[in-house]
Structure 1
Amino acid sequence: MTIEWRYTVERDLGILSVSGYLGPDAVHRFTGAVGWALARGTGPVIVDLTGLRGWSAEGQLAVTEAARRLAAAGRSLELAAIPADGSLVPGGDCPLIPVHADLAGALAAHSTRHGEPPQGRHEWRPTGRPTGDQQRD
């Protein structure tokens, strides 16, 4: 099993939506998605796990490693809708990872409305084709 992901930028806020199962076989794909987010934004990244069916210990470690990578770049990672099968317990050296009940709560914390008009919004999927008001290379 693996994951599917979509990355959306709304103003200075990145939203990395992940679905599927974040297990050992999907860690590399998740790490690549985080790298994509690092290259295409400047603000916090909310990892929306609404569509995630579950995650393994390796998947949880990949999330904490993503928080470290983002922090090293001066950005933060936040989680929305963590799977019911376990909470994330980062190590003591991990940056703070805010956890929101759902994506709407995470966006409200940043005063951004999901589904806003396309102006200032861009979306990428693994095919690399953006959607929104501007095309990017």
Structure 2
Amino acid sequence: MTIDWRYTAEDGLGILSVAGYLGPDAVHRFAGAVGWALARGTGPVIVDLTELRSWSAEGQLAIIEAARRLTAAGRGLELSAIPADGSLVPAGDCPPVPVHADLAAALAAHGAGREEQPERRQEWRTTGWPAGE
């Protein structure tokens, strides 16, 4: 079992939405999605877990490693809608990882009055991500 992802880049903010199960088989695909976000955006990356069914200990470690990679590149990682079956327990040397109840709360934390500028937004997704979303 693996994940599908969609990355949306706006001026100064990225949203990496993840669907499926973030387990040992999906860690490399998630790391690739984080690399995609690093190469194609600026500012913090909100990892939206609304469509994530669950995650394993390896999946949680992948989140922590992503936070380290993004911090090393001068960017932050934030989480929204973590799975109900567990919470992220970062290692002592992990950069701070803000957690938001849902994507709307995460976006509000970055300016609730942000204007929609679709011409300044770019989006990429895996082939398994539903095209209508």
With the length of structure 2 as denominator, give the TM-score of the two structures.
0.91
Deviation at 1:94, TM superposition (A): 0.3
Deviation at 1:42, TM superposition (A): 1.6
Q: Say whether 1:70 aligns with 2:70.
A: yes
* Identical pairs, percent: 79
Deviation at 1:118, TM superposition (A): 1.0
Structure 2: distance between partners of 1:16 and 1:77: 10
Q: Say whether 1:99 aligns with 2:99.
A: yes
Structure 2: distance between partners of 1:115 and 1:23: 36
RMSD: 1.6
Structure 1: distance between partners of 2:115 and 2:54: 25
Question: Unaligned stretches of 5+ in structure 1?
Answer: 128-137
Q: Which amino acid aligns with 1:68?
A: R
Counterparts in 2 of 1:79 and 1:115: CA distance versus 1, 3 Å = farther
Given that residues 107 and 113 in structure 1 are in contact (C-alpha distance below 8 angstroms), is that contact kept between their aligned partners in structure 2?
no
Q: Which runs of 4+ in 1 moved over 4 A?
A: 112-115
Alignment coverage as a number of residue pairs: 127
Deviation at 1:114, TM superposition (A): 8.6
Question: Unaligned stretches of 5+ in structure 2?
Answer: 128-133
With the length of structure 1 as denominator, give the TM-score of the two structures.
0.88
**Higher RCO (CA-CA < 8 Å; seq separation 6+):** 2
Deviation at 1:119, TM superposition (A): 2.2
Given that residues 5 and 125 in structure 1 are in contact (C-alpha distance below 8 angstroms), is that contact kept between their aligned partners in structure 2?
yes
